[in-house]
Structure 1
């Protein structure tokens, strides 16, 4: 792990029980990599998966909705793993990290299968027991092996804990009847601790636990939960997964959590003493947050602990939908506004990047896949329509064309639309092969002086011959470059080339992501 806190705090009975459960169920993580595996240099850019769920959705859409999905799919987004058998998740994870490694890029993987996830609400599901979860996580880790990856471990996993009593002695609302009130919370910490250890044993993986967001838990509460879940052995925590809080607030909140952890681990300080967005600050008035900043300065002075960004817990921030911040529902309009559930008129936030300019922030990520629904939102009414939109929202995880369009149109900063269009036609197929033709059309106002197109082939496909372009392959990636006589494409003009492809048993893949000199084009109808 990259960041290590220097000592563990005293453990409560629940935490001790969690540790005992981990030891009893899995004395050691399943072997995922050779014993002599060592860290290697990480890729410097985030991975764009040409077979993502976003681009899968694009293939079934038409017109502007198709173009929106293709454009969203051209940015790095996380890949979610939400179930399946151990063998299935091992293969699926290995497929993603293998493609990313071939592209020399860093994938973001979301493990989302903890028992009683989302407290059986919109995203209900997950493993049925700790034993089942341990086997699933070990297989997830084995799928990564010695490849590079960022792992976002269980969104809401620490924000929503079954039968949990907070550090302040408050019983939380999540009380599923199927869970044992005496052990359910300890089991959650056991599950997460095992996952941290299994993934943390991998040489090239960065692991982040759920840190909720500044509109949810106070700093002391989430810091205590993070310590119980084993954050000392992880790289840190993630913020704002699937939510809308402004990045400015999240940077302050995340820094306070990192400071609270650092103080609690390295001195007599206790997490429940940590200042937060709720005290002494006013959560609704950012100008008062300097009061909390000052409280941390005093805490460091009182304890003698010194800030050490290289050793403190780091964090990543989900900026997929926070460009315009949270939605405020009209006063009194709905019995339950459900402001987190497909709020209207939101925009994309900062683009995913490993370059954040902030020492404690490892990345801005799109953890939530923008354009996928949060669920069917009734806002306290009987449904089936979402009263804020006047339509029926898709189920959780399904593509939501109206929301995708809003996120692009209202993005902060704005999104540049493509200035090229690709038509890709398979003229004929035969056992083991096919012939395809590609048209590149300029839709911008400036000519294309030289061009290079890139797309990905599915497993089992390759290029056997080509004309009208120089076509080369590197792994699954195909690059088509102009010839001398067709290097320039005037605005509104087009060029074409073709190739013969080989294939396995399936139909030829029609790519939904084609880039021109690294920038996306629209593809097809």
Structure 2
């Protein structure tokens, strides 16, 4: 049977495809993230884990907001060398700020409203999940340029997610993108990347930090027994290669999505993952603008935790710090000297309310985490960032809905929940109330 998930949420992780013959002899289903019968599988394999995903914003252009500092270092010239976050403030996502100020805060009072106002001004990445979002990227970059030209000190950097692969989210239930491989999707994706390159070149004096394609390469490590992923394998590699080459520009720093501890951190997966990511990096010519990898995107894992939660199923790699410090040496040995960023947008409250590590949808007992900063305490990690804007639903809890995923109706999911990507007021309030550090 196939494990499925809701739009832009966790992937399904199976043991690496190098062990596929072993896996197929045990069970004929792909691993994790989401399964309509996940509960029965936890007893069968330690390789069941999850990866939650961010839901991009609708195409709206509110008034751009000011940036929030992530570093107090002197302002450098935009460059792909070194830590690209050092010496920059990160741009506050105008769409997210508008959601919080115009939807969330009017129904909140007192200290909760004050904390929500603070959350609105935390920088979060803007998702370019369709080609029609790229012009909006240009609008944001124009605003950044205006601020920088006016003497912003530190200068502001733009932060975006490139997310429009053909047959996107190949192990997903209802999160397909706008392009199909069967309908010229590879060439359409290349045109999408070309349009992003045009914006980047137009604002060549602006530092731009890009997260590249959540829910893509990690699926090629664990989910090649899913037919759609097997069919997408070559297209994913070709498109990613094109993106890395085309966006290899002096004012760009890129981080490829690398799942999280509960996905690729298992012993059966981490070695093959290192080989795959290093191969992708080297096949693209080892681009100077590819700084490394991003982990925990839209997920809930702690950066560092003293005692592994029960839902991590006995894994010794139960936080992102351990995952990264296990992963980096293997990547380096394979030819990719990667640095990392970690999404801390929803990992502030530990442990979470998850019953199983593979439960990803609108999980209870979560909170906003550490605000974007370069003060990570780990030389491998350039910054903690908010890749997913917290408060947008992971998926609907309405079982009659076309895009319903069973995970969104589990006991550990906050309900009632609206459709994926829609503002979820109760969830936002939970994140605010449980924020750690407090807003």
TM-score, reference length from structure 2:
0.64
For 2:419, what is the secondary structure of its paired residue?
coil
Q: Aligned to 1:394, which of 394, 418, 425? A: 418
The offset of 1:53, in angstroms, is 2.7
Alignment of 1:262-341 (within 5 A): 262-265=332-335, 312-325=337-350, 327-330=352-355, 339-341=359-361
The offset of 1:390, in angstroms, is 6.6
For 1:118, what is the secondary structure of its paired residue?
coil
Q: Aligned to 1:152, which of 191, 201, 211? A: 211
Equivalent residues of 1:342, 1:374 under 8 A apart: yes
Instruction: Say yes or no: does 1:411 pair with 2:435.
Output: yes
Q: In 2 relative to 1, CA 382–171 (structure 1 residues): closer, same or farther, beyond 3 Å?
A: closer
Alignment of 1:65-464 (within 5 A): 69-84=116-131, 88-103=132-147, 104-119=155-170, 120-128=172-180, 129-145=185-201, 146=204, 147-161=206-220, 166=221, 172-176=224-228, 181=230, 184-200=232-248, 202-217=249-264, 218-230=269-281, 232-233=286-287, 234-248=290-304, 249-265=319-335, 312-325=337-350, 327-330=352-355, 339-377=359-397, 387-388=411-412, 391-415=415-439
Instruction: Give me the whole-angstrom Cα distance separating, in 1, the residues matched to 2:95 and 2:414.
Output: 29
For 2:209, what is the secondary structure of its paired residue?
strand
Q: In 2 relative to 1, CA 55–70 (structure 1 residues): closer, same or farther, beyond 3 Å?
A: farther
Q: In 2 relative to 1, CA 152–344 (structure 1 residues): closer, same or farther, beyond 3 Å?
A: same
Equivalent residues of 1:318, 1:366 under 8 A apart: yes
The structure with more radius of gyration: 1
The offset of 1:360, in angstroms, is 1.5
CA displacement, residues 147-173 of structure 1 (integer Å, 9 cap, x when unaligned): 211100011111224xxxx4xxx7634
The offset of 1:373, in angstroms, is 1.2
Equivalent residues of 1:48, 1:73 under 8 A apart: no
Instruction: Give me the whole-angstrom Cα distance separating, in 2, the residues matched to 1:60 and 1:153.
Output: 29
Q: In 2 relative to 1, CA 365–329 (structure 1 residues): closer, same or farther, beyond 3 Å?
A: closer
Query: What are structure 2's unaligned runs of at least 5 residues?
Result: 1-17, 19-76, 148-154, 305-318
Equivalent residues of 1:89, 1:139 under 8 A apart: no
- 241-250 vs 115-124, which deviates more? 115-124
Q: In 2 relative to 1, CA 383–258 (structure 1 residues): closer, same or farther, beyond 3 Å?
A: closer
Q: In 2 relative to 1, CA 209–38 (structure 1 residues): closer, same or farther, beyond 3 Å?
A: closer
CA displacement, residues 79-99 of structure 1 (integer Å, 9 cap, x when unaligned): 111103xxx444222112222
Instruction: Give me the whole-angstrom Cα distance separating, in 1, the residues matched to 2:332 and 2:343.
Output: 23
The offset of 1:144, in angstroms, is 1.8
For 2:301, what is the secondary structure of its paired residue?
coil
Q: In 2 relative to 1, CA 38–381 (structure 1 residues): closer, same or farther, beyond 3 Å?
A: closer
Q: In 2 relative to 1, CA 122–235 (structure 1 residues): closer, same or farther, beyond 3 Å?
A: same
Greater relative contact order structure (CA < 8 Å, 6+ sep)? 2
The offset of 1:355, in angstroms, is 3.1
The offset of 1:326, in angstroms, is 5.6
The offset of 1:239, in angstroms, is 0.3
Instruction: Give me the whole-angstrom Cα distance separating, in 1, the residues matched to 2:174 and 2:331.
Output: 31
CA displacement, residues 46-100 of structure 1 (integer Å, 9 cap, x when unaligned): 324362234235313423186665332110111111103xxx4442221122222
Equivalent residues of 1:374, 1:397 under 8 A apart: yes
The aligned length equals 315
Q: In 2 relative to 1, CA 150–50 (structure 1 residues): closer, same or farther, beyond 3 Å?
A: closer
CA RMSD of aligned residues (A): 3.1
Q: In 2 relative to 1, CA 389–356 (structure 1 residues): closer, same or farther, beyond 3 Å?
A: closer
Instruction: Give me the whole-angstrom Cα distance separating, in 2, the residues matched to 1:382 and 1:56.
Output: 27
Q: Aligned to 2:88, which of 30, 45, 68? A: 45
The offset of 1:318, in angstroms, is 0.4
Instruction: Give me the whole-angstrom Cα distance separating, in 2, the residues matched to 1:50 and 1:245.
Output: 23
Q: In 2 relative to 1, CA 171–351 (structure 1 residues): closer, same or farther, beyond 3 Å?
A: closer
The offset of 1:243, in angstroms, is 0.2
Q: In 2 relative to 1, CA 407–58 (structure 1 residues): closer, same or farther, beyond 3 Å?
A: same
Instruction: Give me the whole-angstrom Cα distance separating, in 2, the residues matched to 1:187 and 1:381.
Output: 27
Q: In 2 relative to 1, CA 326–383 (structure 1 residues): closer, same or farther, beyond 3 Å?
A: closer
- 322-331 vs 397-406, which deviates more? 322-331
Equivalent residues of 1:353, 1:363 under 8 A apart: yes
Instruction: Give me the whole-angstrom Cα distance separating, in 2, the residues matched to 1:153 and 1:174.
Output: 22
TM-score, reference length from structure 1:
0.54
More helix by share: 2
Query: What are structure 1's unaligned runs of at least 5 residues?
Result: 1-11, 13-36, 266-310, 332-336, 416-525
The offset of 1:402, in angstroms, is 1.1
Instruction: Give me the whole-angstrom Cα distance separating, in 1, the residues matched to 2:407 and 2:438.
Output: 34
CA displacement, residues 335-380 of structure 1 (integer Å, 9 cap, x when unaligned): xx85111100101111111332322111111001111111125799
Instruction: Give me the whole-angstrom Cα distance separating, in 1, the residues matched to 2:405 and 2:250.
Output: 50
